[in-house]
């Protein structure tokens, strides 16, 4: 699904590149003020036209020779862009031959960035020629100005996930991304992750001193691991207790960037103005555009469970990812398959206690008229007896926490999953009428637990446990033993056929419940699932935590304004 979007944008952009000149986005006109002081102007040849290449403090333009003296540039088809959009200048390879043919002519190429109508960025070239002497001076001026672009990195640490998305991370980097960084003269250290959770180790141990950026060629998962590792490293170095939910965490100063080579690439969606496109993400690094994104820290039982850069969730969302993770061999198709399998066939519901804290600055939900009552305390969420299907905390805070009217305001969330103990009255009765959607399996399973409890009263304790357990795990040998015992009992009390059928159903249902209880421990964190020990979590939002190359979506920009 994500790949299609990716390909979609790429193909749209490629199509756009082929548009006739007059249909391409207009080259913005610049005023003298916008251009700044003129640093140099040299006569150059563009196709067969004699024009001027003018180097300004803030931009570079190609103008008809008289235009340079005007206060406004006329619309030029050649070039008019800010320095952040200039990648580099290169002498053409065939220039030496030309020099021999035509005395003292150097052909050169200016590589620059152009924004397409669909917001994707594309690399463009403009080929010009001039005298060798003029080329020397103008190329030095261009390189000097490019080096002054704020936040354009000189040295990058690149981590590639070779198994993310369609397993093309290495190929993508070598063919598309590496050449862009090389063209801009950026030094790179390229590392490929060797195993699951390797990125976490790298984040915790790598010395990032001297790097101006950390690039993940991956999906959300690898970025999350590297971010978590690096956040831990930073706290350790600064003596901050990362396991304390109330701790003020030390923020990273090195910007991150995600090159979308994963399956869903959800983080890029909101860190790159909704554009999921390989080249665009790389070119934004050269532009030096940095904004700060939120993170959420998740705690369980007095320790940090994880750092997330996208979303934390329990319930449906983790079931879906767990299901699809077990089918990674299906590559990206696994998502569509799992959505169908999890959403259409089965819906797991759970009871939970949910509490939240509202942002002190925005916590006006309890405000009395005319005064703002700041709310920093934990507030209990009243689910009115309804069971939960999914509880999630989105780092971007753009979406609501399901059922809670606290959109954009939550800075803390607590979830405690309440499990029905086997054999309890609740489990046996399953009285909650809001559970109409509960699967048949789940209901049948509660009956089996009830039956197990009854047996417990009658039969020897050890024997009873073995019988119930065998029903739960469904192992073939134990399962048969369980069925035999049931059958003996049934023979004396009624139709054995019906009862055996019911037993099989109960057995399957019990397996379903066991699986549900196991699933409760799988927690969604940025596109991956992790197994937790307990069933109680606390989340804290850290606003504007990670510097990130890219561009916020308009919606988020407005939101943070």
Return residues touching ligand ATP (CB under 6 A). Answer: 161-165, 193-198, 218-222, 225, 262-265, 527-528
Residue 59 CA to residue 45 CA, distance in Å, equals: 19
* Contact assessment for residue 304 and residue 243, using Cβ atoms and an 8 Å cutoff: yes
Min CB(328)–ligand ATP separation in Å: 8
DSSP state of 83: G
When the beta carbons of 15 and 337 are compared against ligand ATP, the nearer one is: 337
| Burial class (CB within 10 angstroms; exposed 0-12, middle 13-18, buried 19+) of 346 | middle
Is residue 382 helix, strand or coil? Answer: coil
Residues 6+ apart with CB under 8 A from 554: 273
Min CB(129)–ligand ATP separation in Å: 45
Tokens 């640490």 found at:
157
When the beta carbons of 110 and 259 are compared against ligand ATP, the nearer one is: 259
β-pair type (351-358, 379-380): antiparallel
Min CB(467)–ligand ATP separation in Å: 40
Min CB(123)–ligand ATP separation in Å: 25
- Alpha helices, H only, 20-94: 32-35
When the beta carbons of 229 and 262 are compared against ligand ATP, the nearer one is: 262
Min CB(358)–ligand ATP separation in Å: 30
Min CB(169)–ligand ATP separation in Å: 8
Residues 6+ apart with CB under 8 A from 3: 165, 166, 263, 332
Region of 406 (left: φ > 0; alpha: ψ -120 to 50; beta: rest) is alpha
Nearest residue to ligand ATP by CB is: 219
When the beta carbons of 104 and 194 are compared against ligand ATP, the nearer one is: 194
How many CB atoms are closer than 10 A to CB 90?
A: 15
* Contact assessment for residue 150 and residue 131, using Cβ atoms and an 8 Å cutoff: no
Min CB(344)–ligand ATP separation in Å: 21
Strand runs labelled E in 175-289: 187-192, 213-218, 256-260
When the beta carbons of 40 and 333 are compared against ligand ATP, the nearer one is: 333
**Closest Cα partner for 306 from 462, 481, 85, 524?**
524
DSSP state of 218: E
When the beta carbons of 506 and 526 are compared against ligand ATP, the nearer one is: 526
When the beta carbons of 162 and 288 are compared against ligand ATP, the nearer one is: 162
DSSP state of 211: -
Kindly tell me the sign of the dihedral angle through the C-alpha atoms of 546, 552, 557, 561. positive
When the beta carbons of 193 and 271 are compared against ligand ATP, the nearer one is: 193
Min CB(454)–ligand ATP separation in Å: 45
Min CB(57)–ligand ATP separation in Å: 41
When the beta carbons of 197 and 346 are compared against ligand ATP, the nearer one is: 197
**Angle, helices 461-473/476-493, rounded to nearest 10 degrees:** 120
């Amino acid at each position: 699904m994500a790949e299609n979007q990716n390909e979609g944008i790429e193909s749209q952009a490629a199509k756009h590149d082929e548009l006739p000149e007059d249909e391409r986005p207009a080259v913005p006109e610049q005023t003298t003020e916008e251009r700044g002081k003129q640093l140099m102007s040299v006569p150059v040849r563009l196709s067969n036209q004699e024009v001027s290449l003018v180097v300004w403090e803030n931009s570079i333009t190609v103008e008809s020779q008289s235009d340079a003296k005007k206060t406004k540039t006329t619309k030029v088809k050649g070039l008019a862009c800010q320095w952040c959009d200039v990648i580099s200048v290169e002498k053409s390879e065939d220039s030496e031959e030309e020099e021999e043919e035509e005395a003292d002519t150097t052909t050169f190429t200016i590589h620059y960035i152009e924004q397409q109508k669909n917001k994707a960025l594309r690399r463009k070239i403009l080929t010009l020629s001039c005298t060798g002497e003029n080329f020397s001076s103008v190329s030095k001026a261009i390189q000097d100005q490019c080096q002054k672009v704020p936040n354009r990195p000189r040295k990058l640490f690149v981590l590639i996930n070779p198994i993310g998305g369609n397993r093309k991370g290495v190929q993508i980097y070598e063919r598309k991304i590496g050449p862009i960084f090389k063209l801009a003269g950026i030094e790179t250290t390229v590392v490929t992750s060797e195993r699951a959770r390797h990125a976490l180790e790298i984040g915790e141990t790598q010395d990032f001193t001297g790097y101006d950026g950390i690039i993940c060629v991956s999906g959300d998962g690898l970025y999350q691991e590297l971010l978590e590792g690096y956040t831990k490293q930073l706290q350790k170095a600064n003596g901050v207790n990362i396991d304390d939910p109330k701790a003020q965490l030390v923020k990273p100063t090195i910007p991150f960037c995600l090159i979308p080579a994963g399956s869903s690439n959800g983080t890029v969606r909101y860190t790159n103005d909704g554009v999921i496109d390989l080249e665009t993400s790389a070119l934004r690094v050269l532009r030096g555009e940095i904004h700060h994104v939120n993170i959420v820290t998740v705690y369980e039982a007095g320790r940090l469970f994880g750092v997330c850069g996208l979303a934390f969730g329990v319930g449906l969302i983790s079931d879906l990812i767990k299901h699809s993770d077990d089918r990674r061999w299906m590559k990206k198709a696994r998502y569509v398959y799992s959505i169908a399998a999890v959403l259409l066939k089965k819906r797991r519901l759970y009871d939970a206690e949910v509490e939240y804290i509202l942002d002190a600055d925005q916590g006006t939900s309890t405000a009395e008229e005319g005064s703002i009552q700041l709310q920093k305390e934990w507030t209990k969420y009243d689910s009115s007896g309804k069971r939960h299907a999914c509880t999630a905390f989105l780092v971007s805070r753009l979406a609501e926490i399901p059922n809670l009217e606290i959109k954009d305001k939550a800075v803390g969330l607590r979830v405690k999953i309440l499990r029905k103990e086997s054999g309890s009255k609740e489990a046996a009765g399953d009285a909650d009428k809001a559970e109409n959607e509960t699967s048949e399996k789940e209901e049948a399973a509660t009956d089996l637990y009830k039956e197990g409890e009854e047996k417990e009263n009658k039969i020897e304790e050890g024997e009873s446990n073995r019988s119930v357990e065998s029903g739960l795990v469904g192992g073939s040998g134990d399962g048969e033993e369980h069925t035999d015992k049931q059958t003996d009992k049934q023979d004396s009390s009624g139709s054995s056929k019906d009862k055996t059928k019911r037993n099989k159903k109960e057995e399957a249902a019990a397996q379903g419940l066991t699986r549900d209880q196991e699933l409760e421990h799988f927690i969604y964190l940025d596109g991956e699932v992790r197994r937790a020990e307990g069933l109680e979590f606390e989340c804290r939002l850290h606003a504007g935590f990670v510097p990130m190359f890219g561009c916020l979506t308009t919606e988020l920009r407005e939101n943070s304004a």
